[in-house]
Amino acid sequence: MERRTLIKTFAASLLASAVLAGPAMAEGTIKIGASAPKTGPLAGGAAVTYWPAVQLWVNDVNERGGIDVGGEKMKVELIEYDDRTSNEEAIKNIQRMATVDKVDFIIPPYGTGINLATAPLIAKYGYPHIAVTAVADGIEGFTERWPNSFWTLGTSEAMASSLVDVLTKMREAGQINEKVAVVNVADAFGIELANTGKPKLKEAGFDIVYETSYPLQQQDFAPIISGAKDAGPDTFIAFSYPGDTFGLTKQATITDLPVKAYYVGVATAFPAFAQANGAAANGVMGVGGVNAASEAYQDFAKREVEVTGVAPDYWASPVQYASLEVLEQAITKAGSLDKAAVIEALGSETFETIMGEWKFEDNIIKKFWTVGQWQDGVFHGIASTGVGGEFEPIVKSGWN
């Protein structure tokens, strides 16, 4: 009850400020700002997961004649900025969108660290913050601190727990032993998952025989893979970002890392991962997943290629698009561009998306994919928090 009161108080204060300030829009147009990497270490990931989904949604909305706002169809004008994979640049961009461009809504940035860095500013200006590409623990605390924020992709605790559950079942089936190597990128995503995952592995009876972390700009992964190989694990885990996901896997293939379970993080679900690694991708596990056989996902993937020329990934791309479907429906349900009313709708309504029915519980989507695996050219979800339709994991059988 205290939390709901806080949300309503927050929304009421935003409504009062909106009445005083007046609407920030060109007549008949909804101005929506987006700030995410186009350059820097996370640009490659954003170029697959973030920007194409945003562009497809804008295209879809405008082809339908716009968003229904109180019975009036309003088209979307997208204002884009490159945050250069920099928290400071992202903050500047959001400040500019709010005060100079005076956008009606903001599509939150790409990456866990940048979402957390910009959350206070997005809250200050009263925008709904539907975070997609952010996986962290303590989300319940975030929603209390920022009642305008909504979280869709999952938590570090759930991602790590599901991975440990998958590995435990494989060990119990005699497919792997207890020896594990764990490495992580020294950024918010990797640090959180490592801090959560390593204790859970130990609790489940696994022996961490090798562990290390590395900077976001790491280029040479030979020492990491060699160190892991020398330790002799059956399982290799990397809580990694796109560049290192590719770099680690390339080095594992070169070294012929003799593991039976191999897991890497963000970008494992990218089509380019399978293209870059060929047969070596088979059996590789990674964060996230999707029901790749669903008609909704297949239709989304087909349309994204047709409109943007970029194939979506098998995890966050459809969630990014779904978050925008939710924003659109919340605007329509609110019947206005009032940010406080849209925040209220987000917290109370049910939404139909390409990922199925969504309803935020305390501003969090509780059912999401946690672990996926490449099997015969498709990245199938093999674990979730109750989504359903999971595939059984397979043993990693060589690299060549």
- The pLDDT, as a whole number, for residue 22 is 36
Q: What is the chain's mean pLDDT, rounded?
A: 92
**57, 87, 162, 172 from 165: Cα distances, Å:** 36, 34, 5, 10
- The pLDDT, as a whole number, for residue 4 is 44
What's the Rg (C-alpha) of the chain? 21
- For residue 37, which amino acid is it? P
Q: What is the pLDDT of residues 25-74, one digit of tens each?
A: 345 899 999 999 999 989 999 999 999 999 999 999 999 999 999 999 99
CB 193 within 8 A of CB 160: yes
- The pLDDT, as a whole number, for residue 117 is 96
Q: What is the pLDDT of residues 240-287, one digit of tens each?
A: 998 999 999 999 999 999 999 999 998 999 999 999 999 999 999 999
pLDDT at 100 over 60: yes
Both tokens of 5, joined, read: 């009161």
Give the residue carrying structure tokens 């194409």: 52
- The pLDDT, as a whole number, for residue 2 is 44
Both tokens of 227, joined, read: 């160190």
**29, 186, 317 from 374: Cα distances, Å:** 42, 26, 17
Rounded Cα distance, 103 and 33, in Å? 6
CB 317 within 8 A of CB 48: yes
The average pLDDT across 171-194 equals 95
Rounded Cα distance, 8 and 13, in Å? 9
Domain positions in the chain are 2-155+293-358, 156-291+369-384
Considering the domain 2-155+293-358 in this protein, what is its CATH number? 3.40.50.2300
| CB within 8 Å of 43: residues ≥ 6 apart | 37, 85
| Domains 2-155+293-358 and 156-291+369-384 are alike in CATH topology | yes
pLDDT at 114 over 90: yes
- The pLDDT, as a whole number, for residue 15 is 41
Question: At 199, which helix (H) or strand (E)?
Answer: helix 188-203
Phi, psi of 293 (to 5 degrees): -85, -5
pLDDT at 111 over 80: yes
- The pLDDT, as a whole number, for residue 27 is 56
pLDDT at 294 over 60: yes
Rounded Cα distance, 212 and 237, in Å? 11
pLDDT at 127 over 70: yes
- The pLDDT, as a whole number, for residue 255 is 96
**9, 176, 299 from 16: Cα distances, Å:** 11, 59, 42
Task: Band the pLDDT of 188: cuts 50, 70, 90.
Answer: confident
The average pLDDT across 274-302 equals 96
Between CA 373 and CA 383, with CA 377 as vertex, the angle to 5 degrees is 20
Q: What is the pLDDT of residues 324-342, one digit of tens each?
A: 999 999 999 999 999 999 9
Instruction: Say what the alpha-carbon torsion angle 130, 134, 140, 145 is, to the nearest 10 degrees.
Output: -60
pLDDT at 159 over 80: yes
Beta pairing class for 369-375 and 378-384 = antiparallel
Fold for the domain defined by 156-291+369-384: Rossmann fold (3.40.50)
Rounded Cα distance, 273 and 287, in Å? 13
Both tokens of 269, joined, read: 């679900």
